[in-house]
Structure 1
Amino acid sequence: MPTTKAARRRAALAARQALGLADVAQRSELLQRQLFAHFGVAGWQWLHLFLPLVARHEPDTWLVARRVWAEQLPTRLAVPVVQPGGATLRHYELTPRTLLQPNRWGIDEPVPDPLTAPEVFPEQLDAVLVPLLYCDQRGHRVGYGGGFYDRFLAQCRPGTAFIGLNVLNEPPGPPIADVLPTDVPLTAYITPDGVWNFS
């Protein structure tokens, strides 16, 4: 039975907010382990990740960044910065030296700097960790509804891995009825308990 984005967004937000912070932390650790176990992270030159909106119980992707740095992998990290006007993203390198500042939603963003946070362009990326609230059986996702990531993912080169992360233990579900032509499907989806590949 098809489902709508609005219905799935409401249900997922409520389910995620019902989780305790300790539970989110534990599930985030499992997501990080799944990523490194099932994907060749060390073989990527550039990995793009979102930094978590803690108030909305998003996955703690700092665990991924810290593991990359702790293991001294050659993989370089990039994160988004919402641009003035709120409709587009630009991307900057994240290192242990990067100066961060919270944006209007409370998400940490790099302070652009040629030395500590140079700009990274979508066509450079090998993989993107994508925030989501729901994923269907075709790899279509439900986000917050702003379209930031669909516009961004459409700029990446063919073959870039788009990997959705969900702290909720939900396998891919019924098809989303109101998919738009501009929606970009995932290539893979990770929950604390499982990994699914769509292409």
Structure 2
Amino acid sequence: MLKAEIRRTFLARRRALSAAEVERRSTLLSQQFFSGFPVAGWRWLHVFLPIAQQHEPDTWLIIQRIWAEFPLVQLAVPVVQNDGKTLRHYHLTPQTPLVANHWGIPEPVDAAEMPPTAFDAVLVPLLACDLAGNRVGYGKGFYDRFLQQCRPDAQRIGLSLEPPIAQITDIDPNDQALTACVTPERIWQFN
């Protein structure tokens, strides 16, 4: 399938989910994540904050559990820059104040900036991924540019409310593949 068709199809599917169903799938996804990755061994985890109106996976379930059970793991979140093309990354603690930007995404205020090379793992938002680990996002390329700056050994873990599709047919050379994708049912590992 082509990215544009995948984007339309999966946006419509996600919008059709009730808030209760998004929360149910998010809870299962969080359980899969903690059962399948060596979270305690990471120093820094990059996590996106969900856009509720887009019915994105509720990453607050992961964030709150890390704060409660893995106090040595530090968290960082992205902030879209004024150029509309790049992300910067800021330390997130339970005390970090957040303000919603014009897309409705919560962003930290007065937090320390972290370089992309700091992260041991990155939780990547997506609309869909395929069985090779290629992903389709909202089409702005933020995460492809960001992941190019991360360490080669950093895990790139997609969070998806849906299982992978067979194939994304119009992969770009700049697209950054995932190393794994967590769904409510299981974890998919990619080469």
Give TM-score, length-normalised by structure 1: 0.94
> How is 1:1-199 mapped onto 2 (pairs within 5 angstroms)?
3-111=1-109, 113=110, 117-168=111-162, 170=163, 172-199=164-191
Distance in 2 of aligned mates of 1:90 and 1:118: 11
Distance 2:117 2:182 in 1: 23
The answer as to whether partners of 2:91 and 2:113 remain within 8 angstroms in 1 is yes
Q: Distance in 2 between matches of 1:135 and 1:178?
A: 12
Distance apart, 1:72 and its partner CA: 4.1
- Alpha-carbon distance in 2 for matches of 1:174, 1:195: 16
Task: After superposition, give the CA deviation of every residue in 1:85-125 in whole Å (9 maximum; x if it has no partner).
Answer: 211000000000101110110010001x2xxx211110010
Q: Displacement of 1:71 after TM fit? A: 1.3
Give the secondary-structure state (helix, strand or coil) at the position aligned to 1:36.
helix
**Which residue type is aligned with residue 16 of structure 2?**
A
Fraction of identical pairs, as percent: 58
Unaligned segments of structure 1, at least 5 residues: none
RMSD: 0.8
Cα distance, 1:29 vs structure 2: 0.8
User: Structure 1 residue 174: deviation in Å?
Assistant: 2.1
- Secondary structure at the residue paired with 1:67? helix
Amino acid at match of 2:143: Y
Structure 2 CA distance for aligned equivalents of residues 61 and 22 of structure 1: 15
1:27, distance to aligned residue in structure 2 (A): 0.8
Aligned-partner residue type, residue 157 of structure 1: R
Runs of 4+ deviating beyond 6 Å:
none
Counterpart CA distance in 2 for 1:167 and 1:100 is 25
- Taking structure 2 as the reference length, what is the TM-score of the superposition? 0.98
Q: Distance in 1 between matches of 2:31 and 2:169?
A: 32
Q: Could you give the per-residue CA deviations for residues 142-169 of structure 1, whole angstroms, max 9, x where no partner exists? A: 000000000000000111000001112x
- d(CA) in 2 for partners of 1:20 and 1:66? 23
What secondary structure, in the 3-state scheme, does the structure 2 residue paired with 1:154 have?
Answer: helix
> Unpaired runs of 5+ in structure 2?
none
AA partner of residue 131 (structure 2): Q
* Secondary structure class of the residue paired with 2:7: helix
